[in-house]
Structure formats: C-alpha cells, structure tokens
C-alpha cells in the first residue's frame, strides 16, 4: 500500500509552495511572489504526530485557462511568472491529477483578498472529487485577516482554518486535522531504489525523456527553455527493480543564470546529482556537445556519480554510413575525461533508443557497487608496476607497497606508498586504466587515494 498522500491545491499565488516547504521542513519547492512559478507536481515525504505521508505541491488552478491561448499574456492586473501563460491548461491538468491521486486535499486560499471566482471554481472541482477537503485561509498573520477568513464558509467546504504558511501560525492545528483523516499506513522499508537523475542544459529534452520512460505525460513539456523549475522525484519499477527518476531544471552557464527562481532551480538540479546513483547527461544532437555540457559533466564527476551520455534528438540528424561513429568520436573528444561512459543515441520524441536507457543505467549502478577482491587487486597492480615502472623525482622513486578497495559508490582505491608526492597524474591515470582494463566499471568514476605507509589520513589526489 502506498504512503497516504496530501495534495495542496488552490488558485495561483496563495502560498501553496510556502506551505509545502513549511510542512516538509525544508525549502524544496521554489517560492516566488509571481503566480505560475510552480508548474509540475512536486512530491516529498512529511511527518506529523508520528504519521508519515506524501505531500504534493501543485501549480495554481486558474479560472480562465480556456481563454488563454498559447503565447497570450494575461491581463496586466494578473501578472504571471515569466512565460507561464502558455502552460495554464497543463498546470491545471497536473493539479487535477494530484487531486485524483490524493487521500486528503488541503485547499489553500488567501485570507487577505477573500473568496474569488477562481476559489469558487476550485471548490466546485473539489466537491466533485468527493475527497476529504480542509480549507485553509492563508496569509492570516493579523487578527483582521483571521476575522475575514470566515467569509470562506460561503464555499460550503466545512470549517475554515486560518493559517500563515510563512510564519507558521495555525499550521500545526491544520496538520492535526489532516493526519486524523489519513488512512492507516504501515511504514515500508528504507528507500532502496536506484536514483537516476536526468540532467543537462535547458531544452535538451529531459522532461520529454521522463514522460517517455514513464509512458505518461507526468511533467509539462514545452519547447520553451526553463519549463521545469524543481527537481521532481518519481518512483517506478523496472523489471522488478525499484527506480526513482529525478527530472531537473536545465543548467545554464553561471553568468547567464538569473537571480531568484532560476538560481534556486539550478541549485536543486545540482543537489539532485549529489543524491543520485546515476546521472543521465542529456545533450542535443542538433547542437553537438557544448562547453556547458562539459561543465555539467565535470560536476557529475566531482560528485562521484555514475554517468551516461544521452545524445537526444537523434531523429533530427541527417544520417550517413558513419554518422553514429563520427558523432561518438565527437562526444569522446569533447568529453575526454569521460571516456569510460556509455553513449546512447536516442529520440525522446519518437522513442528511438529509449528502451535501452534504464537497463544501461542499472548496469552502471551495479558497476558502481562492484568490489575487487584484495588479492586480485594487488596482483593487478604488481603486474602494472612490472610493465611500467613508477616515476621518480630527485633520485627518489615511488614505491607501491599495498592497495585495497576501501569503498564502493564510487569505488575508492587506497594505495600505500613511500611518498604520495612522487605520484604523477599520468601514472595515476595509467593505474586507473589498468584497473578498468580488467574490471567492469563502465560509466563509473574511480577514486585513487595515495597515502604514506603507516599514516591514517590519506592525501587524495
């Protein structure tokens, strides 16, 4: 039985994301004063009075989505977040899907503005859903606003709960009522799913790939760069293996990242890599591998995450007898430091090659947890030293006494040597290549640590 779900719904800019962050106890959802900032559903686990549940933040349900054509801006007195107008019908569909999946709905309104036509439309939707609904009048920091909250009784959804998501007022009382209405649920074992993050520049097709892998329109897809704002976790199962797919915002060059919403979206994308087992670095086949793709790859490498390169939009590239081989060479040349990673050519739009993505990612995950027996590892290193003697400096020569694999995820090898300062980077790369020659570390960065014999602390190189 899945964990009980609580959906936060309402019209735009009533404070749903602020309440979401308040409930889960951390700033996960992007918060901005402009309506339309949240577009996709965002899930997170919360706990109250010992009860665990999933809380879902949704985009605002507008009263006039059918009157907003693609590219049309709303009236000046109802400004949306930049470029959100085209997504209004899609945002509404995402919110309605969250209502359908939820066990309990928290309907958030604005105590300062009072009931609006949009609030009445949302109330109608909720009545038709026949789900338990708790009406919360947000922004009730002042006694005057709390008194005005009684106006929401006209919506006919029962008790009104004055709250301040920003300051925490009334949220505890609201959650007391919410958890009492949730179905009984027994906690499952710790999340052992393989976490796969989809990362890349804006508009390379990350959300399209996610929808293709899931077989449903789970996140909003648009040719407009920057549609995805938050890192979105979605659970699935692949041939018996639990998998968490993480869709992320596009990562632009640091100098081009706008302050505010985009800045925090990029930070969340980078944090998604930090907690992922495997990162799918998506590139655009029509543009080639760019400098920004290489920067993102370097960050993945620094985090020790498994990595694959996905060349998307392959259907849009004119083909010749050696097109794929030549393009693979281009990828290898642009990402020289990732010569060990798989390169897949796909089209998220048509589905070409996408059936190979998760099986290959699971192979990378298994390789990331592979451990070489100590005896075999030392025989391999002795053979490598015999073939190519270690370097020296000032009449002193590097000696390798012993090596062991200290960790997995990423695989970390600790070399006991006479002097770590004698290890030249080229010899370190030679040793890494010899290890890769014999053991399955496809798509997995290796860490080699050299420390003087008898020392407990290692100097990492």
Q: With H, G, I as helix, E, B as strand and everything else as coil, classify residue 450.
A: strand
Task: Say whether pTM exceeds 0.75.
Answer: no
Q: Give mean pLDDT, residues 81-104.
A: 62
Which element (helix H / strand E) includes 358? helix 357-368
Nearest to 293 by CA among 201, 357, 166: 201
Domain ranges of the chain: 5-181, 194-368, 374-460
CATH says 194-368 is which class? alpha beta
pLDDT of residue 187: 60
Average pLDDT in the chain? 83
For 374-460, CATH number? 3.30.300.20
CA distance 93 to 101: 12
Q: What are phi and psi of 56, to 5 degrees?
A: -120, 120
CA distance 23 to 7: 12
Q: What is the pLDDT of residue 370?
A: 96
Q: Which of 40-44, 71-75, 278-282 has the lowest mean pLDDT?
A: 71-75
Write out the two tokens for 38.
Answer: 């949240």
- The answer to whether the peptide bond before residue 410 is cis (omega within 30 degrees of 0) is yes
How big is the chain, counted in residues?
461
**270-288 tens-digit pLDDT:** 778 888 999 999 999 999 9
Identify which has the larger pLDDT, 79 or 197.
197
CATH of 5-181, one of 3.40.50.300, 1.10.260.30, 3.40.1160.10, 3.40.449.10: 3.40.50.300
SS3 content of the chain, % helix, strand, coil (to 5): 35, 20, 40
Contacts of residue 72, defined as CB under 8 A and 6 or more positions apart, other chains included, come to 85, 86
pLDDT digits (tens, 9 = 90+) for 347-369: 999 999 999 999 999 999 999 99
- Picking from 114, 119, 99, the residue whose alpha carbon sits closest to that of residue 8 is 99
Do residues 111 and 169 make contact, with C-beta atoms less than 8 angstroms apart?
A: no
As beta bridge partners, residue 52 has: 47
Shared fold status for 194-368 and 374-460: no
Tokens 């199962």: give the residue: 237
Angle at 257 between CA 328 and CA 195, to 5 degrees: 55
The pLDDT confidence band at residue 266, using thresholds 50, 70 and 90, is low
**pLDDT confidence tier of residue 386, bands split at 50, 70 and 90:** very high
120-134, 186-200, 371-385: least confidently modelled range: 186-200
Cβ atoms of 429 and 461 within 8 Å: the answer is no
Residues in Cβ contact with 433 at an 8 Å cutoff, skipping those fewer than 6 apart: none
Q: How far apart are alpha carbons 3 and 55 in whole angstroms?
A: 10
């Amino acid at each position: 039985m899945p964990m009980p779900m609580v959906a936060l719904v309402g019209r735009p800019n009533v404070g749903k994301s602020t309440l979401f962050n308040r409930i889960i106890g951390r700033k996960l959802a992007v918060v901005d004063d402009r309506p339309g900032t949240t577009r996709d559903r965002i899930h997170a686990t919360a706990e109250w009075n010992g009860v665990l549940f999933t809380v879902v933040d949704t985009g605002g349900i507008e009263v006039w989505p059918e009157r907003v054509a693609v590219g049309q801006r709303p009236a000046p007195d109802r400004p949306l977040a930049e470029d959100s107008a085209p997504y209004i019908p899609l945002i509404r569909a995402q919110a309605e899907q969250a209502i359908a999946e939820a066990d309990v709905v928290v309907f958030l309104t604005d105590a300062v503005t009072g009931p609006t036509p949009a609030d009445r439309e949302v109330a109608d939707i909720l009545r038709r859903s026949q789900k338990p609904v708790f009406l919360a009048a947000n922004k009730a920091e002042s006694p005057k606003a709390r008194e005005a909250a009684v106006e929401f009784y006209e919506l006919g959804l029962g008790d009104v709960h004055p709250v301040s998501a920003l300051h925490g007022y009334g949220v505890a009382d609201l959650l007391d009522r919410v958890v009492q209405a949730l179905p009984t649920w027994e906690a499952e074992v710790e999340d052992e799913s393989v976490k796969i993050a989809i990362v890349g520049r804006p508009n390379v097709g990350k959300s399209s790939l996610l929808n293709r892998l899931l077989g449903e329109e789970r996140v909003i897809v648009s040719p407009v760069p920057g549609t995805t704002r938050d890192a979105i976790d979605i659970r699935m199962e692949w041939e018996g293996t639990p998998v968490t797919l993480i869709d992320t915002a596009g990562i632009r060059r640091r100098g081009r990242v706008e302050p505010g919403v985009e800045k925090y979206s990029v930070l969340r994308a980078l944090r998604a890599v930090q907690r992922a087992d495997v990162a799918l670095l998506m590139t655009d086949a029509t543009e080639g591998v760019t400098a920004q793709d290489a920067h993102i790859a370097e960050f993945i490498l620094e985090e020790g995450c498994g990595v694959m390169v996905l060349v998307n939009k392959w259907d849009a590239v004119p083909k010749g007898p050696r097109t794929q081989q030549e393009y693979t060479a281009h990828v290898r040349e642009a990402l020289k430091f990732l010569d060990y990673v798989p390169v897949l050519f796909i089209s998220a739009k048509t589905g070409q090659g996408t059936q190979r993505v998760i099986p290959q990612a699971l192979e990378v995950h298994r390789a990331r947890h592979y451990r070489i027996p100590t005896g075999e590892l030392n025989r391999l290193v002795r053979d490598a030293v015999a073939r190519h003697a270690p370097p020296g400096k000032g009449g002193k020569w590097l000696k390798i006494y012993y090596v062991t694999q200290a960790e997995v995820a990423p695989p970390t090898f600790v070399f006991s040597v006479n002097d770590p300062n004698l290890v030249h980077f080229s010899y370190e790369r030679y040793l890494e290549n010899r290890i890769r020659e014999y053991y399955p570390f496809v798509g997995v960065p290796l860490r080699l640590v050299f420390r003087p014999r008898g020392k407990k602390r290692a100097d990492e190189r």
